[in-house]
Structure 1
């Protein structure tokens, strides 16, 4: 290897500079993860070469035996991680080692807590694994040659972890990448071969690429004759001369694809470490499932549910999916065709025998095999979660707190599994006295009152607004449970999940709510009598409000509040109107239904008001008050305040 060019000096992206300072000065816990990250990156480089070589076998350059080598040099105080994978060009090395995606980096820094142990766990999860080298090294040298590129086009990258790095052209006979860590003075423990072996065995045993280290050199032995004592007994046996046996590269890890092994032969720790390899997550997974499917479509799946949500969980455009292998050959990362978007948090891999080795993303789109595998994997994940929700409610609650809002996207996206997804959903409810979303639809159905045929819910901007909604008054009086929804996605959810277990989901803020089935005859007669008595009042109120409302009617849902607005069953809900307005969509003008509580003292006072002007002002104040309670805002709040002030002043005279 020789230098062929003058070094070029480059400045790190600002985010990288900040990250390097963090690595160098702050993250000292669990230092050994640097080797896990670098070996994992090297294995990925081998996988990428194997895939590219499917189209161009010349990239192997006569050496198809892919491996990663780890070695220590005590004389030079260095540790080197070498691979003969895909390698990097000059442009690629600047792009990959000088820049980090800004959105991911900003989120990385926002997650830092100051706790060294927990902060170090974020490495790798945010794609910054290479920079963990600076935890133990005060200088890092990278020498790389891309497969298929001339030896003279290799490149050397070097940095001391400060504000800049240098690159230069070099000669490199072999393709692939060498990462040389110049260790800090207090990190000499990593020069010990046994220490390095233990780290590789701990973190990289499952990697399908062979991770090799040098064996111990065996010294030469001179020939020695047999020696006997005076009684003729052999004291020292004869020894034949033996040449010195030089150190040889030997595998340290099992180097077998973990998913191809029998489940009984894979330990729990191996499954956990493999998850960390495929997900770049430091935390253990919540649960996993390893399955081999045989029959019309044959494939192996290893699916994991993480214990913590990734930073970009709510970015639906972010690439997600499973690692795809075909006949044990790595094909692609993030094969999203095998997992619906609402399950984008699922990690793992698929290995299919029924897809061609040259499969591409385009071929996967409309492939019948892909559709069959996607269907099978989706059902398996849903069953995993249902089983967890039944067997361990505490663990499931932990899952729901992390991923629940994403799972709520399911009914809109996956009609075929709508009922199954419905079983997994959790909500706050009037049955509980807190905002925890821990009530399932099956539990709600089990607690339904005799004669109740609907699942009632209310959607509001916050849990407090939902809990204190005037729409709940009659439901509390009758002891009917109502689901309290306050996530932004909830209105979208209930527009697609319209029924569960044969029961219709009914918003309590709709005009069509009818609890008459639960009323006795005496109550029904009293309500009919009240409606007749107030016929003239409701007609007068409708005239006062004009085209602001669809109709004015006596409410049977209120016990404490004077009035409320609701929407007709066939109109867009108020919450959906608000959501559309927030995202800049044009919202159609929808007139609400104005319901009044005829037994409320304020309504009785208004009904008795003979002065038409004052009557109209009172009606408008009641209507705008109800609108404010439901929508959280008014088109003209100043006008409302003026009318309210006038009425209050008139009461003091």
Structure 2
């Protein structure tokens, strides 16, 4: 073997941490490494098929592609090889020396203290090749790219201790060979029965033949026996596929250790012919919110792999969906640029979106526990739907879940159908309030009237909620109404059955309002009495067309300039503090009272004040 240009390199820092966890943590499911390596080999074959669309000379026959597993008990090594696309020297360094996955740092940060013990998370994150070090103390990778000559092969070696070596070698055949020097404690993986068991469990669905070496003890002849079905799972009849096979296929394409929540498998014929196998995961990935998070479907055209993460077929609010799309109508040489402007692609996207929403709708009706699990994991992302997918707004609205004053819990499990069914006689609106947290929403003074009248209010505390409500105009003919805005119905509700004594009291306090307006000046839009409140002296509201506090916070969080919000100060004339302040003659002291009423109303609404120290000094002075 001709070895040259050898160099020793260090792993990316994240990989050093990852390998340390792999090697020193007691991994609960060690056999997962074989699934990961076979999955990678399958991907290498898919990529070669795709390249061969434009360069048929790259390989002669599709049936020649395979993954082979051989055992060398004398040297305690297990070898997994494929004749797929292979890697160049630069690709080996890029693929095996760094982790490009954007959420890696977040993942590693989370693996602290007790979480290290729960190291199933390693499998959930899908670290692929690096799982080799769970069972091996030394790993060698020999590879040659399909584009490279025999003398441009490359060998990569590492013991997983922070460094690796790379050198050029001569390699006669294309593809990749991974040689695992197993630890003494992992010799079970050198047994034929053990390997067959693991492959049948995890890799039976792989469309590539997985072959194991058979050595004749008499004449030492070597043959290869296929031990998986080697038929693309999605092309098989649904009645032939077990739940276990569906689950393992999901783990193969998603590199997720957990089983999916549910899935749908459909073959569609008509104007367009295609097959979809779509999965809803049971857990959100660590990098779901990262802007560069990869998502989308594996795209096949006439069973030929075209690309990973084809996001053109999934709307962004459903980016957690995993699965495959196999189309008979798209051209084999299709590119991302063509996909973006392709009518067929848009039709497929619409059909796939409707199918996913149907699956979620069925789950929401027939399995509340499972749907609640979905909502807890992906609800915040799904809330992007009303803005992004106007055509499906009706079904999306039915799938939304909220916390509310009815349940007295932060759990978001109230549907809009539930809310409408509990509306009181004469109620025309669906009332909601947005806040920074559930506790802030639940304790808002705006709710006092609604508690008093027995009217349910939706409590919205996710950052995206205020933005989402701009795209939810009505539901089943009921208009959405923020209770922090001025509204004729709310005023009527507050003033119904108003006692004569209260009307007289307000008239007596008319001068109070005029004095307050003079003190606050252009800091407010208006000052008026309100009967919305029972336990609070004052509250601020915004006009119907004014930007809300939560929307302003949302814009500021992304660096946008926000115009100043002019609030209405509404004062409770029945509150003892208001009545006490109304009798104050000294204008300076009265001014302090008004500033306190305004300040505490702002504090309840915004959570902050422009000058909290001034507010505290005035409060202390009055105390």
TM norm structure 2: 0.96
Alignment of 1:611 onto 2:586: yes
Whichever of the two has the greater Rg, that structure is: 1
Secondary structure, counterpart of 2:300 in structure 1: strand
Secondary structure, counterpart of 1:195 in structure 2: helix
Contact map agreement 2:125 2:257 (CA 8 A) in 1:
no
- Cα distance in 1 between the residues matched to 2:177 and 2:386: 49
Secondary structure, counterpart of 1:345 in structure 2: coil
- Cα distance in 2 between the residues matched to 1:127 and 1:55: 31
Match of 1:384 in 2: 359
Contact map agreement 1:30 1:117 (CA 8 A) in 2:
no
Alignment of 1:190 onto 2:221: no
How many Å apart are 1:275 and its aligned residue? 0.4
The number of residue pairs the alignment matches comes to 622
How many Å apart are 1:185 and its aligned residue? 1.9
Per-residue Cα deviation, 1:193-223 (whole angstroms, up to 9, x for no partner): 121111111100101111111245385xxxx
How many Å apart are 1:61 and its aligned residue? 6.5
Per-residue Cα deviation, 1:33-76 (whole angstroms, up to 9, x for no partner): 11111000000000011111111223226776211111111222
- Cα distance in 1 between the residues matched to 2:57 and 2:483: 68
Contact map agreement 2:87 2:144 (CA 8 A) in 1:
yes
Q: Check 1:16–1:543 CA distance in 2 against 1; reply closer, same or farther (3 A cut).
A: same
More displaced stretch, 380-389 vs 449-458:
380-389
Match of 2:412 in 1: 437
- Cα distance in 2 between the residues matched to 1:421 and 1:636: 42
Alignment of 1:308 onto 2:283: yes
How many Å apart are 1:529 and its aligned residue? 5.5
Match of 2:86 in 1: 87
Per-residue Cα deviation, 1:257-315 (whole angstroms, up to 9, x for no partner): 11011111111100000000011001110000001111112111111000111001112
Match of 2:7 in 1: 8
Secondary structure, counterpart of 1:7 in structure 2: strand
Contact map agreement 2:494 2:532 (CA 8 A) in 1:
no
Match of 1:503 in 2: 478
Q: Check 1:527–1:263 CA distance in 2 against 1; reply closer, same or farther (3 A cut).
A: farther
Match among 390, 396, 403 for residue 378 of structure 2 = 403
Contact map agreement 2:47 2:305 (CA 8 A) in 1:
yes
Secondary structure, counterpart of 2:511 in structure 1: helix
Q: Check 1:75–1:519 CA distance in 2 against 1; reply closer, same or farther (3 A cut).
A: closer
How many Å apart are 1:159 and its aligned residue? 1.1
How many Å apart are 1:610 and its aligned residue? 2.4
How many Å apart are 1:546 and its aligned residue? 0.7
Match of 1:361 in 2: 336
Contact map agreement 1:428 1:439 (CA 8 A) in 2:
yes
Contact map agreement 1:305 1:346 (CA 8 A) in 2:
yes
Q: Check 1:525–1:448 CA distance in 2 against 1; reply closer, same or farther (3 A cut).
A: farther
Per-residue Cα deviation, 1:613-639 (whole angstroms, up to 9, x for no partner): 322221122111211111111112222
Alignment of 1:53 onto 2:52: yes
Match of 2:550 in 1: 575
Q: Check 1:142–1:520 CA distance in 2 against 1; reply closer, same or farther (3 A cut).
A: closer
Contact map agreement 2:25 2:117 (CA 8 A) in 1:
no
Q: Check 1:601–1:518 CA distance in 2 against 1; reply closer, same or farther (3 A cut).
A: closer
Alignment of 1:340 onto 2:315: yes
Contact map agreement 1:43 1:68 (CA 8 A) in 2:
yes
- Cα distance in 2 between the residues matched to 1:567 and 1:121: 46
Per-residue Cα deviation, 1:73-131 (whole angstroms, up to 9, x for no partner): 122221111101110001111111111237433223234365778414523x4352111
- Cα distance in 2 between the residues matched to 1:487 and 1:383: 25
Secondary structure, counterpart of 1:369 in structure 2: helix
Match of 1:206 in 2: 205
Secondary structure, counterpart of 1:399 in structure 2: helix
Match of 1:150 in 2: 149
Match among 363, 385, 390 for residue 415 of structure 1 = 390
Contact map agreement 1:452 1:518 (CA 8 A) in 2:
no
Secondary structure, counterpart of 2:252 in structure 1: helix
How many Å apart are 1:584 and its aligned residue? 2.4
Q: Check 1:6–1:375 CA distance in 2 against 1; reply closer, same or farther (3 A cut).
A: closer
Alignment of 1:543 onto 2:542: no
Contact map agreement 1:4 1:171 (CA 8 A) in 2:
yes
Q: Runs in 1 of length 4+ with deviation above 6 angstroms?
A: 61-64, 524-527
Contact map agreement 2:27 2:119 (CA 8 A) in 1:
no
Q: 5+ residue gaps in structure 1? A: 220-243, 649-653
Match of 1:35 in 2: 34
Match of 1:222 in 2: none
Contact map agreement 2:400 2:416 (CA 8 A) in 1:
yes
Per-residue Cα deviation, 1:449-482 (whole angstroms, up to 9, x for no partner): 0100101111111111111100000100000001
Secondary structure, counterpart of 1:283 in structure 2: coil
The root-mean-square deviation of aligned C-alpha atoms, in Å, is 2.0
Superposition map of 1:142-541 within 5 A: 142-215=141-214, 217=216, 219=218, 246-512=221-487, 514-515=489-490, 522-523=497-498, 531-541=506-516
Q: Check 1:522–1:473 CA distance in 2 against 1; reply closer, same or farther (3 A cut).
A: closer
Contact map agreement 1:218 1:247 (CA 8 A) in 2:
no
Contact map agreement 1:13 1:98 (CA 8 A) in 2:
yes
